[in-house]
Structure 1
Amino acid sequence: MNRQIVFITFLTFFVSHLAAQSIAPLDRVEPMNWWTGMQNPKLQLLIHGNNIAAREVQLSNYPGVTLEKINKVENANYLFIDLTIAANTQPGSFTITFLSKNKKDKKLTYNYELKAKHTDAVRAQGVTNKDLIYLIMPDRFANGDKTNDIVKGMRETTINRDSMFYRHGGDIQGVIDHLDYIRDLGITTIWMTPEIENDMPHASYHGYAATDFYKIDPRYGTNDLYKIYVDKCHEKGLKVIKDVVPNHCGSESWFMLDMPMKDWVHVWPKYTQTTYKDQPAMDPHRAEMDWKLQVDGWFVPSMPDMNESNPYVANYLTQNYIWWIEYAGVDGFRIDTYAYNDLQFMANWMTAVKNEYPKFTIFGETLVHSIASQAFYCDGNVINQGFDTKLPGITDIAVKDGIYESLNGKFGWMEGVSSIYNVLSQDFLYKDPTRNLVFMDNHDMSRYYSMVKEDLNKYKAGLAMLFTTRGIPEIYYGTEILMKNFSDPDGKVREDFKGGWAEDKINKFTAQGRDEKENDAFNFIKKLANYRKTSEALQTGKLMQYVPENGVYVYFRYTDNKTVMIVFNSNDKEVSLATKRFEERIGNHKSARNVVSDAMLSNIEMLNVPAMTTWVIELN
């Protein structure tokens, strides 16, 4: 979309209501239902309809429900209704009536349902360092329902698997169809890129340009199907992370086409993009304009920046995410573009979510420039931030870079094998670094296998470190079958998983469809991931690391009952490693088992570690 056109559209806000004839008399009530038993008794309903503000609002008498205030805003097509739902309110429904002063207009009614809050322990259970996350782009994983490939009335109606920019037809049913594959691989948690409606004209398969915050994209399925997906995951012992985007929406969002008020989003005199800089957030010498550009500038022209300091926007977003937790029972959120949000809003939002769901997990995408910058965004005010973000964990890009540099050798200020040691030595900056997400790639980055130059030894060595270091590990779909490519453009790292479409001639979901090297990689991940599932040392054990020497990095994960020793040999030749140096942690252990090969090591006083290999050995 032309940038000037974007701003001409938004600066003509005051005449947006002229299009009211295309708006139904009562177009939307959001959230469309709510629950009793919530910790916060306050609820704000967004009402959208043609000149709805001119109508009188009445609520049928319902014990425990009080109409506190009716808020009229700049656009007469909106009302915001404040309700209080008392703690002892019973499930049921009440009627909201909208009466017109014009006797020719019929009264409008909405039957508002209050359901009982769920109490199942398996819902909103949180994702922890006991878990292993599998990241999926649903459009590119598997097509389980061809009937929703093209949906009439949507702005993009093309399926073209030969193009990286068009939709390919993958959907939620496709993920459901492969839950056993995911579980058997050793995964415990699934994170899909956003599933909600992205009714944009082009290339919105990624999901980060929402046009309806309360609706699953019809090309992926329905709200009901999404709930079924979460339930089936829970039945199979899998958890679910939902990817959420409070920072921005799609320019074709329904409320952008008829904005409630001129400051619903950040509007500038001309198009103004974020600087993509994180430093102003923490810079004690910053210019306030730089901070404003960071958080109020738009991410891209097609993604308007939500004004989270607007209390109506703040309520809308907070209630929406709580609605999805309670509706579907998801276990955690990944927050997209966290560093570009209003931090006070995010802290308030975090508190509201955790008040309702204490075990719920939240981590933010912080692709920033230093370990201190990452720690700044985490909760606890432990490094003199002067502010507590309340954010439990972040996407730990420093660990990713540390592992890459340890595998690929010295680069710039990095120090080869010492890089990951150096990164972890700064964990004192965090309140709890075990809540950070550790990863090697994702949908925005060059694929891991390509980044290690398609070297299978490096591939295994790095994944072994990823699965055994502190934090919550994540792998991107296809890592287990050596999918490759560089992110220039991003579409190259978002290829289809072969076998996910009925017309595919090869099915890499099966051993028969994979070649020898792919099966080797798959079996390596499966073996180590399933071991991690049962290892308290790797899940919750403490970490002790030793200063690397002679290209070898050694660390331990341990509890009172179990000790796992990890040895990374970054050299291009075998190393004989005397272990007396590590007796502080080895203690009285004399033997060990290689958890990948199952080979027994009867004497661990000297270890002969092959070139470019990470050994994971359980001490006996």
Structure 2
Amino acid sequence: PVWARKPGAANRQGFSNSDVLYLITPDRFANGDPDNDAVEGMLELPDRANKGGRHGGDIAGIRQHLDYIADLGFTAIWLNPVLENNMKTYSYHGYSTTDYYRVDPRFGTNEDYRQLALDARRKGIGLIMDMIVNHCGLEHWWMRDLPTSDWINQWPTYQETNHRKTLLQDPHASERDKKIFTDGWFVPTMPDLNQRNELLAEYLTQNSIWWVEYLGLAGIRMDTYPYPDMYYMSDWAKRLTTEYPNLNIVGEEWFEAPTITSYWQRGKINPNGYEPNLPSVMDFPLQAALTAALTNPESWKTGWITLYETLAHDFLYPDPDNLVIFPDNHDMSRIFTQLNEDFDLYKMAMACMLTMRGIPQLYYGDEILMANPESGDHGLIRSDFPGGWPGDKVNGFTGEGLTDQQKEARDFLKKLLHWRQNAPAVHAGRLVHFVPENGVYVYFRLHDAQKIMVVFNKNAAPETLDLTRFAEI
């Protein structure tokens, strides 16, 4: 059916610096409807014993625990993709789309997704949709009869992308290498889409607009942002932000140098003339710098200075305050694991994320110290949230069975999150930081209505600060 557009839909407000995002892998959060674990016509059956299998988490489970998320103090949720992934194996993650207009029935229905968005908004929580235009799943229905021969990027024999992120900026790069990066496939089960095909490009863009309208989205997270045709991505972002001027969109560019990540943010003047229209980028450089700063000893080149000098590169970004910052996500080890399960360092990481410039995103379970000490296998990183399944001996939602340290972590994070909701200096204040000295790093957030001083001390013993050093503040 054709629905009338809601009044003011074009002026919807996207997520912003006043928000904190809670990232959820739906299959691993909570099983709210066991009846949809196995669905006729879906190729992969549930197998909770398999770390790479489907475990049964769904949209119903998320809806049932929105109060938990709101009570912690989060104001937006980003879900890993929930569209149909009718693949034979390893489909739980959601990144092998087989129908761009249908929610995977093992997660629920399109209406369930819409009701999640409505329920969340009533609780002051916006919904951010994870989108993928770089590739689809091999079992997508159009793969049986491609609309055009150039609908996907085809090669004489299978060609995988080289994942060399500097190629599009490199003035010396070969055209062959650039083509392999852009047109090569991620894996054999993910056909690489050709956005230079005008019909496909229009289909993908209209699909994005449809979901924004249908769900009333607060934002979009675009997967593998530099891999599709770069000029299509510029056009896609421009059309979305022209239609929705206040919608926030963040792109994934997993590279640990701001010289590369800044290339994609709207307003950047690039030497090669490329005009990006993407409002926000995932701040992978800051994530890497934070873990290095916390885990390496203090020296001239290591420790807090790593974080300090990474932030010094903010001049490369047109809008560093709109970057999405994070201690971990679904593709890397849990922050507690990265910090070698050092609770003091964990608390410093959380405090930094929630007082730093940018828009923070935490991963489900960070609040109860979920970890993956066995290995970096994605199936372990994305472990089931305790209490999300009947019979779980530990319940992270109620606190039953949590250790004292886990409870302390949850309470610490909750206190910070609620404090942050009413901290204008963190939302919109200027960041001023001072060169780290003796294992101590100090920065300020400055706003007309509020001034905040943040002090981190990695030393085992207390340090005395000479406050005259900060007299300019």
Q: TM-score range by the shorter chain?
A: over 0.9
Q: How far, CA to CA, are the matches of 2:42 and 2:300 in structure 1?
A: 49
Q: Is the 8 A contact 1:441 1:448 kept in 2?
A: yes
Q: How far, CA to CA, are the matches of 1:566 and 1:197 in structure 2?
A: 44
- Report 1:120-269 matches (<5 A): 120=8, 124-157=12-45, 159-269=46-156
Q: Is the 8 A contact 2:11 2:246 kept in 1?
A: no
1:468 aligns with 2:355: yes
Residue of structure 1 in register with 2:456 after alignment:
568
**Cα deviations across residues 340-366 of structure 1 (Å, max 9, x unaligned)?**
111100111111111111111111111
Q: Is the 8 A contact 2:161 2:183 kept in 1?
A: yes
Tell which structure's C-alpha radius of gyration is larger.
1
**Cα deviations across residues 233-262 of structure 1 (Å, max 9, x unaligned)?**
100000110000000000000111221111
Shift of 1:539: 1.1
Residue of structure 2 in register with 1:373 after alignment:
260
Shift of 1:384: 2.6
Shift of 1:162: 1.6
Residue of structure 1 in register with 2:210 after alignment:
323
Letter in structure 2 aligned against 1:535: A
- Percent of residue pairs bearing the same amino acid type: 44
Q: CA 1:444 to 1:370, structure 2 compared with 1: closer, same or farther past 3 Å?
A: same
Q: Secondary structure at the match of 1:363?
A: strand
Shift of 1:163: 1.3
CA RMSD, aligned part only? 1.5
Shift of 1:324: 0.4
The partner residue of 1:490 within 367, 378, 397 is 378
Shift of 1:503: 2.2
Q: Is the 8 A contact 1:383 1:429 kept in 2?
A: no
Letter in structure 2 aligned against 1:506: V
Residue of structure 2 in register with 1:434 after alignment:
321
Shift of 1:279: 0.9
Q: Is the 8 A contact 1:537 1:559 kept in 2?
A: yes
Q: Secondary structure at the match of 1:548?
A: strand
Q: How far, CA to CA, are the matches of 1:371 and 1:411 in structure 2?
A: 23
Residue of structure 1 in register with 2:6 after alignment:
118
Residue of structure 1 in register with 2:423 after alignment:
535
Q: How far, CA to CA, are the matches of 2:113 and 2:299 in structure 1?
A: 45
Q: How far, CA to CA, are the matches of 2:217 and 2:350 in structure 1?
A: 27
Q: How far, CA to CA, are the matches of 2:400 and 2:92 in structure 1?
A: 30
Q: How far, CA to CA, are the matches of 1:341 and 1:259 in structure 2?
A: 19
Structure 1: gaps spanning 5 or more residues: 1-112, 586-620
Q: Is the 8 A contact 1:124 1:332 kept in 2?
A: no
Residue of structure 2 in register with 1:392 after alignment:
279
**Count of residue pairs brought into register by the alignment:** 472
The partner residue of 1:514 within 380, 399, 402 is 402
Q: How far, CA to CA, are the matches of 2:256 and 2:371 in structure 1?
A: 25
**Cα deviations across residues 500-535 of structure 1 (Å, max 9, x unaligned)?**
112222211113332210000000100001100110
Shift of 1:381: 2.8
Q: CA 1:246 to 1:413, structure 2 compared with 1: closer, same or farther past 3 Å?
A: farther
Q: Is the 8 A contact 1:405 1:414 kept in 2?
A: no
1:348 aligns with 2:235: yes
1:553 aligns with 2:448: no
Letter in structure 1 aligned against 2:466: A
Shift of 1:121: 6.5
**Cα deviations across residues 254-291 of structure 1 (Å, max 9, x unaligned)?**
11122111110000000001001111110011111111
Q: Please identify, of 305-314 and 407-416, the stretch whose mean Cα deviation from structure 2 is larger.
A: 407-416
Residue of structure 2 in register with 1:36 after alignment:
none
Q: Secondary structure at the match of 1:351?
A: helix
Q: Secondary structure at the match of 2:354?
A: helix
1:293 aligns with 2:180: yes
Q: Is the 8 A contact 1:546 1:553 kept in 2?
A: yes
Q: Is the 8 A contact 2:393 2:401 kept in 1?
A: no
Q: Is the 8 A contact 2:32 2:58 kept in 1?
A: yes
Q: How far, CA to CA, are the matches of 2:352 and 2:455 in structure 1?
A: 9
Q: How far, CA to CA, are the matches of 1:257 and 1:541 in structure 2?
A: 53
Q: Secondary structure at the match of 1:575?
A: coil
Structure 2: gaps spanning 5 or more residues: none
**Cα deviations across residues 581-610 of structure 1 (Å, max 9, x unaligned)?**
10111xxxxxxxxxxxxxxxxxxxxxxxxx
Shift of 1:114: 3.2
**Cα deviations across residues 35-76 of structure 1 (Å, max 9, x unaligned)?**
xxxxxxxxxxxxxxxxxxxxxxxxxxxxxxxxxxxxxxxxxx
Q: CA 1:284 to 1:412, structure 2 compared with 1: closer, same or farther past 3 Å?
A: farther
Shift of 1:120: 4.8
The partner residue of 2:169 within 282, 291, 305 is 282
Q: How far, CA to CA, are the matches of 2:216 and 2:425 in structure 1?
A: 29
Q: Secondary structure at the match of 1:116?
A: coil
Shift of 1:576: 1.0
Shift of 1:412: 11
Q: CA 1:412 to 1:547, structure 2 compared with 1: closer, same or farther past 3 Å?
A: closer
Question: What TM-score comes out, normalization by structure 2 length?
Answer: 0.97
Letter in structure 2 aligned against 1:467: L
Letter in structure 2 aligned against 1:142: A
Q: CA 1:499 to 1:431, structure 2 compared with 1: closer, same or farther past 3 Å?
A: same
Q: Secondary structure at the match of 2:266?
A: coil
Q: Is the 8 A contact 1:156 1:199 kept in 2?
A: yes
Letter in structure 2 aligned against 1:394: V
